[in-house]
A and B are shown apart, each in its own frame.
Chain A
Amino acid sequence: MATTKNNTLKLKFDSARKYAPALESKSAATIDARYDLFINGKFEKPQSKKYFSTINPATEEKLSEIADANAADVDKAVKAARAASDKYWKKMPASERGKYIFRIARMIQERARELAVIETLDGGKPIRESRDFDVPTAANHFFYYAGWTDKLAYAFPGKDPQPLGVAGQIIPWNFPLLMAAWKIAPALATGNTVVLKPAENTSLTALKLAEIIREADLPPGVVNIITGAGSTGAAIVNHPDINKIAFTGSTDVGKIIQRAIAGTNKKATLELGGKAANIIFDDAPIDQAVEGVINGIFFNQGHVCCAGSRLYVQESVYKEVVRKLKDRLETLIVGDPMDKNTDIGAINSKEQLNTINKYLKIGQKEGAEMYQANVEIPSKGFFCRPTIFTNVAQSNRIAQEEIFGPVLTIQTFRTDDEVIEKANNTPYGLSAGVWTDKGSKIFNLTTKLRAGVVWANTFNQFDPTSPFGGYKESGYGREGGLHGLAPYLNLG
């Protein structure tokens, strides 16, 4: 028999998505009809008297009503945080502070199932991810930073680390509970008090965290969680009695914050957008690289600031990689996020879905070839088929701008220098991935790629001990690890 040409063969995956439904139970979680602001250790009605709805993006059903904090509410929360800082938190022995943080970590573990269900209902991410990634990683962040509490002097030898005071923290909608943990845990460990605002689309798990913090019996005012949209965030940023702003979100808002705090004493860390390059060399473990690319771009529907959204493939393995990617797309299960078998859930909001669809049109108009998984998507709710674009050029908008959805662009390259140049040719610099079997090539690239995190032969790995943050328009400052302590300390 003669060697058969590749393009006539195709594996059949029609049955791969036909698993019987395996739904997680909604009854694992209780969601109140209405949530108030968590200020000074108790839930208080907003002075604005306004509430907004939060919906389940997979069904478009209303889940709850959330208080809309105005500037007066923010002021109240900041005052509570300041008083808690002066009265309790700064004075408390560090080891005592650590006990509270350990307690929060354990309580997150105890209520893991409830938190996972709410995260999925409110944000649309697959329950598998909430259960196996978001919630356990959030608990791990509290555990990790709890351990640092009474060891700060060892983290910064020869210095006298002191807390800054009150931290204003604004977090995005893609990892609501995890981002709250990333922000709150190091702030508390370093002796700061907190005013945190979750994103307006996804406030519920932060409010559940407020319940946990209340039950953990933290002194009132040490953590305040207030809800609202952009104007609430602006009120935090502009409040004169805040010492530090920690923001994760879009580069546009990051720039506004940067302007707003210019000339003030406020410290800041900004963790902003990204357009990460994922680079496959011809000597890479191809099947694992393909899997890494899939996880890199389709994890959390691509709503990941460090998503590997630009794939660069060495020309000699380009056809093989594209074929394998297309095969893999056929086994991704898209649909009800509460189904334990779902790989790709709902897009977080209608606005975000519109943005993604806008870029799909732009990509086609630019002459790129669009390929989507051959999968039915639910008629209700906000869903997008996993999408790859081939025949993409560096000058295409889809290869330059952050789409923040399940959309991958694929470009080819010939030499190491060429791909380094292309990978760095972006205003962003949050993360990158390198796939090769050759160790020396890995070290060559990791030193030359202008990105805060470079993964080698893996992607989207997160650990509390590892610092995370960006170059260029991806922001500044590091979160996680020992490095994540410094932005919350006055090292005198």
Chain B
Amino acid sequence: MPEKIISYQPDFSQSPRVDQVGIIERASRFTKRSIKNETKMNGLLLALNMIDLTTLEGKDSEGKVKQMCYKAMHLHDAFEGLPTVAAVCVYPSMVKTAKLALGDSGVKVASVSTAFPSGQAPRDIKIRDTKFAVQQGADEIDMVISRGKFLEGEYNFVFDEIAAIKEACGNARLKVILETGELGTFDKVRKASDIAMHAGADFIKTSTGKISPAATMPVTLVMLEAIRDFYYKTGKMIGMKPAGGISKSKLALHYLVMLNETLGESWMNNQWFRFGASSLANDVLMQVMKAKTGVYQGKDYFAID
């Protein structure tokens, strides 16, 4: 049974306000950090180890998923001692294939669920969708919140739905996708974060990757600050997953600086932070090889699965 966080439901109209100008300024300040030498190398390896390698397309097939799983375990065998990614992220129908392909590699299988990406389905279908993915072997569930209900002000509906999915997850860790690109303001992102954490989320996640804008540094910072306040309030650590739009290693390092200086070193591992990305890995690999050999290699030297 999932542990109950707190015995009361807070008043979500009281979520702290976020100042747009201030949050954007603060987020841009992290990009001014100059990350060099061993700090850069450590950061790049850590970033690789935090990736949820993702494929979420209508045309996903067993072949595609198997190949991606191999990549997840063997990022670039020309460089010995590279970490694996944290997880692969697939549709429920592909969980079994991924689970089999990954074996005992330690790479987790994350499955989106709850009628991803729109979430426009009845609750019982969302619960079945989730239970199916867990039965197929998913270690982690990436659910979407009902943004329509949220924007209607039906916060209790959103809360109850997350709590119901958390229950359906069993031992699988639950990532709650807020789809920040549809929420419109930082205040709403903060409120949705608070609802998700209080309802039982293990992770909060920015985006499906299907809506633009996806993850941005300011929106991620709003969520990190919500996690920080929740930690001080309850003692419970919540993970963070920005997803979509992070494809360059330099940007990934900026995110890690932001994490390091907002939540501190306890969060600096893939238990508590993930990048949802499909093309970030190769850019990081390119930088890693540059650091090792002193020269950039062409993109054709890195596998594209």
CB pair B228–A11 under 8 Å, yes or no, is yes
Question: How many angstroms between the C-alpha atoms of A12 and B39 in the bound complex?
Answer: 18
Interface residues of A in 177-235 (CB under 8 A from B): none
- C-alpha gap A12/B16 in the complex (Å): 23
Docked complex Cα distance between A135 and B37 (Å): 28
Contact B232 A20 (CB under 8 A): no
- Taking a contact as CB atoms under 8 Å apart, the answer to whether A288 and B18 are in contact is yes
A288 touches B23 (CB 8 A): yes
- Complex CA–CA separation, A287 to B258 (angstroms): 14
In the bound assembly, the distance between CA atoms of A340 and B31 in angstroms comes to 11
A241 to B225, CA, bound (A): 59
CA A38 to CA B193, docked complex, whole Å = 60
User: Would A1 and B264 count as touching, CB distance under 8 A?
Assistant: no
Give CA–CA (A313, B43) in the complex, Å.
Answer: 38
Closest to A18 in B: B39
Q: In the bound complex, do residue B3 and residue A1 qualify as a contact, i.e. CB atoms below 8 Å apart? A: yes
Given the interface pairs A1-B234, A291-B26, the reply to whether A285 lies near B19 with Cβ below 8 Å is yes
Alpha-carbon distance between A13 and B261 when the two chains are bound, in angstroms: 7
Return chain B residues, CB-CB under 8 Å to A4.
Answer: 233-235
Contacts of B37 in A (CB 8 A): 20
Quote the shortest CB–CB distance from A129 to chain B (angstroms): 10
Residues of A within 8 A of B26 (CB): 287-288, 291
Q: Which residues of A have CB within 8 Å of B263?
A: 11
Bound-state CA distance A289–B25 (Å) is: 12
Known interface pairs A1-B3, A287-B225, A288-B26; A16-B21 also in contact (CB < 8 Å): no
**A to B contact number (C-beta, < 8 Å):** 99
B36 within 8 A of A: yes
- A288→B17 CA distance, assembly (Å): 9
The answer, yes or no, to whether B70 is at the interface (CB within 8 Å) is no
Is B231 at the interface (CB under 8 A from chain A)? Answer: yes
Taken together as a complex, chains A and B put the C-alpha atoms of A8 and B233 apart, in Å, by 11
- Give the size range of A's interface with the partner: 35 or more
> In the complex the two chains form, is A20's CB within 8 Å of B261's CB?
no
Asked if residues B17 and A437 are in contact (CB atoms below 8 Å), the reply is yes
Give Cα A48–Cα B101 distance, bound, in whole angstroms. 85
Quick one: given A1-B4, A1-B5, are A341 and B235 in contact (CB under 8 Å)?
no
Report the minimum CB–CB distance from A50 to chain B (whole Å).
41
Cβ–Cβ contact B39 & A283, under 8 A: no
Min CB gap A450→B, angstroms: 25
Tell whether, in the assembled complex, residue A288 and residue B19 are in contact, meaning their CB atoms are under 8 Å apart.
yes
CB of B34 closer than 8 Å to a CB of A: yes
What's the nearest-Cβ distance from chain A to residue B142, in Å?
25
Known: A11-B264, A16-B264, A285-B22. A1 touches B236 (CB 8 A): yes
User: A128 an interface residue at 8 Å Cβ cutoff?
Assistant: yes
B125 to chain A, nearest CB (A): 31
CB–CB B261/A340 < 8 A: no
Contact B264 A323 (CB under 8 A): no
- Report the contact-size class of chain B (Cβ under 8 Å from the partner): 35 or more
- Contact among B40, B234, B236, B261 with A16 in the assembled complex (CB-CB below 8 Å): B261
Q: Does A3 lie at the interface of the complex (its beta carbon under 8 Å from any beta carbon of B)?
A: yes
Partner of A285, one of B16, B40, B261: B16
Contacts of A13 in B (CB 8 A): 260-261, 264-265
Bound together, the chains give a CA A15 to CA B39 distance in angstroms of 11
Q: Contact between B16 and A341 (Cβ–Cβ < 8 Å)?
A: no
| B225/A9 in contact, CB under 8 A | no
A residues less than 8 Å from B19 (CB atoms): 285, 288-289, 437, 457
Task: Report A279 CB to chain B, min CB distance, Å.
Answer: 15
Cα separation A14 to B19 with both chains bound (whole Å): 28
Name, among B37, B39, B236, the residue most crowded by chain A CB atoms within 10 Å (CB to CB).
B39
Q: Are A284 and B17 in contact (CB under 8 A)?
A: yes
Q: Could you tell me if A15 and B265 are in contact, using CB atoms closer than 8 angstroms?
A: yes
**Residues of chain A within 8 A of B39, CB atoms compared:** 18-20
Bound CA span A113–B17, Å: 39
In the complex the two chains form, is B4's CB within 8 Å of A9's CB? no
Chain B residues with CB under 8 Å of A458's CB are 21-22
Of the candidates B34, B225, B234, B265, which one forms a contact with A12 in the assembled complex, judged by CB atoms under 8 Å apart? Answer: B265
Report how far A49 CA is from B37 CA in the complex, Å.
49
Q: A283 to B5, Cβ gap below 8 A?
A: no
Asked if B266 is an interface residue, CB under 8 A from chain A, the answer is yes
Asked if B291 lies at the interface with its beta carbon under 8 angstroms from chain A, I say: no
Q: Are B21 and A12 in contact (CB under 8 A)?
A: no
In the assembled complex, which residues on chain B have CB atoms less than 8 Å from the CB atom of A15? Answer: 260, 264-265, 268
Assuming the A-B contacts A11-B266, A15-B268, are A286 and B260 also in contact, with contact meaning beta carbons closer than 8 angstroms in the complex?
no
Q: How far is the CB of B14 from chain A (nearest CB, A)?
A: 10
Residues of chain B within 8 A (CB-CB) of A3 are 6, 233-235
- Cβ–Cβ contact B228 & A288, under 8 A: no
**Beta-carbon nearest neighbor of A127 in chain B:** B34
Bound CA–CA A11/B23 (angstroms): 20
Is A21 an interface residue when CB atoms closer than 8 A count as contact? yes
Tell me the complex Cα distance, A132–B34, Å: 14
A22 at the interface (CB under 8 A from B): yes
25 A-B residue pairs with CB within 8 Å: A1-B235, A4-B233, A6-B233, A12-B264, A13-B261, A14-B265, A15-B260, A16-B264, A19-B35, A20-B37, A21-B36, A22-B34, A132-B32, A284-B17, A285-B18, A287-B22, A288-B26, A289-B19, A289-B22, A291-B25, A292-B22, A323-B232, A340-B34, A341-B33, A458-B22
Interface residues of A (CB under 8 A from B): 1, 3-4, 6, 8-9, 11-16, 18-22, 128, 132, 283-289, 291-292, 323, 331, 340-341, 437, 457-458
Closest 3 CB pairs of A and B: A288-B22, A4-B235, A22-B34
A13-B265, A287-B22, A288-B21 given. 13 additional CB < 8 A pairs?
A1-B4, A11-B263, A15-B260, A16-B260, A16-B261, A16-B265, A18-B39, A19-B39, A22-B34, A284-B17, A288-B23, A291-B26, A437-B17
Chain B residues in contact with chain A, CB under 8 A?
A: 3-6, 16-19, 21-23, 25-26, 32-40, 225, 228, 231-236, 260-261, 263-266, 268
